[in-house]
Amino acid sequence: MPRRTLKVVKLHASRHRLALEEPVDQAADRSLVTDTRNGLQVVRLGRRSPKVTTALVDELCDEVAVIAKHRVRLARQAKAMVKEQANMKR
């Protein structure tokens, strides 16, 4: 999420006394307006939306891959900590 967007979401959340996750969840739950083009459902973006390019999609894929690797590493660390605590109790 761009820094400016995150800043706006944080400001909105603090003004309305919401947890930060709530506005993000609300935005994620909002249904998208779609059109059918050549048999495919495509999202209708606003005129001010940035142009979707292959480079932007590749960048997003790279970010998702980094996040996935990070989550796997955290899960392994958590599993190791649980195992270590179980060994300490014995």
Number of domains in the chain: 1
27, part of any domain: no
Higher pLDDT, 22 or 59: 59
User: With 70 as the cut, is the pLDDT of residue 38 above it?
Assistant: yes
In a domain, 69, yes or no: yes
pLDDT at 71 over 70: yes
Q: Is the residue at 17 inside a domain?
A: no
pLDDT grade, residue 39 (50/70/90)?
A: very high
Distance CA 59, CA 55 (A): 6
Model-level pTM?
A: 0.44
Question: Is residue 74 domain-resident?
Answer: yes
CB burial of 64-85 (b: ≥16 within 10 Å; e: otherwise) equals eeeeeeeeeeeeeeeeeeeeee
Q: DSSP letters of 19-88?
A: -THHHHHHHHHSPPPEEEETTEEEE---TTSPPP-HHHHHHHHHHHHHHHHHHHHHHHHHHHHHHHHHHH
What domain range includes position 77? 49-90
